[in-house]
Chains A and B, each alone.
Chain A
């Protein structure tokens, strides 16, 4: 069965990972279908960011399988059913189809907003300079930065930088977009402009996995919420199911803590 026919974009099976003796992922199973917006919530240290980073192999996983569009991310089959870590070239190829937006933006400070978006289009997608420029400008306009094309990251506000970060990721036309606490480093008044952009992407059918503490966003934009705690997925379901938290003590406790922080 090919992944495209079942519209399964990301398939995580039994993934385990430890940092030293500290187990951060303890048997994670997760399916993400095309067009879904899966919001991952949970206390810090619950493994949600690590899970996200395993999906494009910024972290390796020790056991289990992660497939994106039917392709195992971290390993290819070696002789005799063993699995071999993928090399840099293979990984780059796979990562090009997985967009990621970072908590600290990670824009390239020596490049303008437009050049930040163009770099992957030119060097990875092999677009001509003119094509790359056009696509970059199109996306930067869509995130409301049509007048900031030639600005360096240092000349932009946090919210603007993060919108460049989103444009840089989506311009590559990824199969799935990973958002890693993308508003956590922003001043509160700048959170809205970034989440609005994400909301529009969701409306246009972008498949996303979102790690966030923004419960309002989780409720309004998420098609599914996944609650992680203690290196495991404790519960998942529609926003209504999860946020009502009926009968799940750890989730209830977590939501209560979040509530207290925000009011």
Chain B
């Protein structure tokens, strides 16, 4: 038990890796997903199909396969990522594919009369998006997006597969030295839970903040 407590700084290092990878992936996938999501709704036809295929394909393969593909297969054609970046890229690409669909759904749930009313007072495309569509769509965007963020935090455990010591691998290594699995696994589970519980709570607060439409 003492040994387990002495290993806490080591677990802390792992937790930081988990948080770093998660944060990076959340930001990258959000930017890519929102841009591509807007592209698929409002973009020209030649833009629609590539995004459509990208989104459907990435959502249709296991994340693990994607990570191994980027880590092991891409170097064969000269694309090299460090082990941590290959996971960040894989996770971001994967989450972005989901966010595209979330953005698309959120925008298309807004009645088209909203866009027409915004056009009728002379707002330009970006203004319509910024002042009329986005403030309404964000309400529908938040809950599934927070789910995606939670998935990302949990999915970041996959970095351990390419040899990076994140929270999950740190726990396993400590267990390997101490042979006391139960407390450590429970401790690890609690850490993941705390992170994700904070995220879910923040989400509920945000949703309440945007719940201006009483139907």
Contact = CB atoms under 8 A, between A and B. Distances in A.
Secondary structure of the B contact surface, majority rule? helix
A11 B116 CA distance: 22
B123 A106 contact: no
A20 B56 CA distance: 30
B179 interface: no
How extensive is the interface on chain A, given as a class? 20 to 34
A104 B213 contact: no
A56 interface: yes
A108 B122 contact: no
Contact of B123 (A97, A104, A123, A152): A123
Contact of B136 (A58, A97, A109): A109
A154 interface: yes
B127 A56 contact: no
Contacts of B121: 95-96, 119-120, 124, 168-169, 172
A124 B123 contact: yes
A109 to B, nearest CB: 5
Given A95-B119, A108-B117, A154 B213 contact: yes
Interface stretch (A86-94, A188-196, A207-215): A86-94
A119 B120 contact: no
21 contacts: A88-B124, A88-B125, A89-B124, A96-B122, A97-B122, A98-B120, A102-B113, A104-B113, A106-B113, A106-B116, A107-B117, A108-B114, A108-B132, A119-B121, A119-B123, A119-B132, A120-B121, A123-B127, A123-B131, A168-B117, A172-B122
Given A110-B136, A124-B122, 10 more contacts: A92-B124, A95-B120, A97-B122, A110-B212, A119-B123, A119-B132, A123-B127, A152-B212, A152-B213, A154-B215
Interface of B: 111, 113-114, 116-125, 127, 131-132, 135-136, 212-215
